[in-house]
A and B are shown apart, each in its own frame.
Chain A
Amino acid sequence: MAQQLAIIVLVDIGNALETNTLEGNTYLFDNMKLHGSEGQGTGDLVTAIHGAYWRDGSQATEQVLNWLPYSLGSIPPTVPRSYQSDRARQSDEQALAELEAVTAKAGAPGADPTPELDHIRQVAGRRVKTTRRTRGRLSGQKVLDVTGQVVTEATAAYSYPGPVITDIYGQAVDEKIMYPAEYGSPDLVTDGWYWSATVDSSRPGTYAYTMRIQLHKLVQRGGETLWEPVNLTCESKLLITSEPKRNGFTGAGLGWLPIAPQAAQPQTAQPQTAQPQTAQPQTPQPQTPQSAAPQPGAPQFPQSAGQPQAPATPHS
């Protein structure tokens, strides 16, 4: 089974757009801290990839990297994928319902619908103009603030759309250490697309790579509100090590299972209730006798149940 490794790219979009750089505005994480990754939560993450190989030199594990870009201080990625359009539709429905009420009252003498109409304008919010250039997941949506409310003015405290990785390239790709590509996914977190790569762990070393990341800035042009794409890059590194697989029972090659001949339980023995608990105190115990671990002439070293490297979706 391929080991799924995640790299989270958390971007302070407001600051990045302000300063026009991702440097100092990007925080990277992975789930390989125990394998020696360094710089968690900073812009200088070095992702450790623990490769392993069999005694014949073939690669023993499949490592699959998945990149997840998130925005600092935006609506969180855990809201449903259709959240932007759901909120836009809800606000339309509310505005229509209120408009109907105003229309019904409009016939009454002395009725002034202005305050109601003002309120409807608030409810309806501001829709981002669709143009050929900006067409995509953001076009036609309404602008939301960071609490999910529809925003009327483009100057309000709107929530930035999440960052989008548009390419992964550089040394680690040029030297064929990893093979990144963008994949479609049914998951609810990454807007249906994510970048993933399989890794060749047979060539230990440190390899840099660059991510091209697209942010979006809300601008007004000719009275229209548009999300303008801003392309920036940030760098990270992979640190690849590779060590031989070893047998957990013998510490070396394949042997007999360490079952004492007298260990057989009487047939009447009931299985004990499992008592899950934290690490047992362990007294040092003798090594498996060498005679019980015949290295040479042992059966073919079994291959793992590893599957070929089609990257699975990072989310179950």
Chain B
Amino acid sequence: MAQKPQINIIAVVDVIGALSGRTLQNGNLCLVDNGDHSSTGQGTTDLCTFVRPGQVVQWSALAVDLQTPVDIKSITFLGPDGTPSPLGRRDANGESEKLDLEHWAGMVPPFLPPGVPHRYRLELQMYEGEHSVLHVDTPALLRV
């Protein structure tokens, strides 16, 4: 079977629940993908998406409370020690207020070592304010 050219990862967020409890845990964030392979942790914050080199992976965020705003603020791959990779782009132009224009997609690099999870930090912005940004470090991509 030909591999899918693109895998979509959707972050489904209970914005009011997450802001109320100030956490993406407790069911406030569900990650799901539509990959070909049997990704693990579907519907949890520990989604591990199985990918192949050259595939495009696209992330998007969706609020379960439909009219509340949620955008991806950043996706940063983590090193073996759990620290963010220096390769990530960080608000280069400072236009963080236009997160809705950002389209989070990239190709799986050919050099990605297979068989190990490459964890990433998914940072979500819900509305604006001191307590509006929450993140998880638990999801991962895994090259099969």
- Which residue of A254, A264, A275, A302 contacts B137 across the interface (Cβ within 8 Å)? A275
Q: Which residues of A contact B5 (CB under 8 A)?
A: 299-300
Instruction: Kindly state whether residue A47 has any CB partner on chain B within 8 Å.
Output: no
* Residue from the list A66, A256, A285 in contact with B88, Cβ < 8 A: A285
A267: Cβ under 8 A from any B Cβ: yes
Specify which chain A residues have a CB less than 8 angstroms from the CB of B101 in the assembled complex.
50, 52, 243-246
A305 x B79 contact (CB < 8 A): no
- The residues in B between 77 and 91 inclusive whose CB is less than 8 angstroms from any CB of A are 77-80, 82, 84-91
A272 in contact with B127 (CB, 8 Å): no
Contacts of A300 in B (CB 8 A): 5
Can you list 15 A-B contacts (CB < 8 A)? A4-B66, A245-B103, A248-B103, A254-B105, A260-B87, A263-B79, A264-B80, A269-B117, A272-B82, A276-B24, A282-B91, A285-B84, A285-B86, A305-B58, A315-B66
Structural contact, A288 and B89, CB atoms closer than 8 A: yes
Judge whether B64 and A257 touch: CB under 8 Å.
Answer: no
Which residues of A come within 8 Å of B, CB atoms? 1, 3-6, 31, 34-35, 50, 52, 60-61, 66, 243-251, 254-267, 269, 271-272, 274-280, 282, 284-289, 292, 298-300, 302, 304-305, 312, 314-316
- Measured CB to CB, the nearest residue on chain B to A32 is B69
Whether B105 contacts A61 by the Cβ 8 Å rule is no
- Verify B64–A254 contact, CB threshold 8 A: no
Q: Contacts A267-B115, A275-B137 hold; do A292 and B87 have CB atoms under 8 A apart?
A: yes
The answer to whether A259 touches B116, judged by C-beta atoms less than 8 angstroms apart, is no
> With contacts A259-B77, A274-B45 known, is A249 near B111, CB below 8 A?
no
B109 touches A257 (CB 8 A): yes
Which residue of A5, A262, A285 contacts B90 across the interface (Cβ within 8 Å)?
A285
Contact A262 B89 (CB under 8 A): no
A245-B102, A280-B123, A299-B5 given; name 18 further pairs at CB < 8 Å.
A4-B67, A52-B100, A61-B100, A66-B67, A249-B106, A258-B106, A259-B77, A260-B86, A263-B77, A263-B79, A264-B116, A265-B117, A275-B137, A278-B134, A285-B90, A302-B105, A315-B66, A316-B64
Contact across chains for B79 and A260 when beta carbons are under 8 A apart = yes
Which residue of A31, A282, A289 has the most chain B CB atoms within 10 A of its CB atom?
A: A282
Tell me the nearest residue of chain A to B116, going by C-beta. Answer: A264
CB within 8 A of A274: which of B25, B72, B89? B25
Q: Nearest Cβ in chain B — how far from A188, in angstroms?
A: 15
Q: Is the CB of A312 within 8 A of B66?
A: yes
CB distance from B89 to the nearest CB of A (A): 6
B23 to chain A: which residues have CB within 8 Å?
A: 276
Least Cβ distance of A31 to chain B in Å? 5
Whether the pair A258, B88 counts as a contact (CB closer than 8 A) is yes
Which residues on A sit within 8 Å (CB–CB) of B112? 259, 261, 264
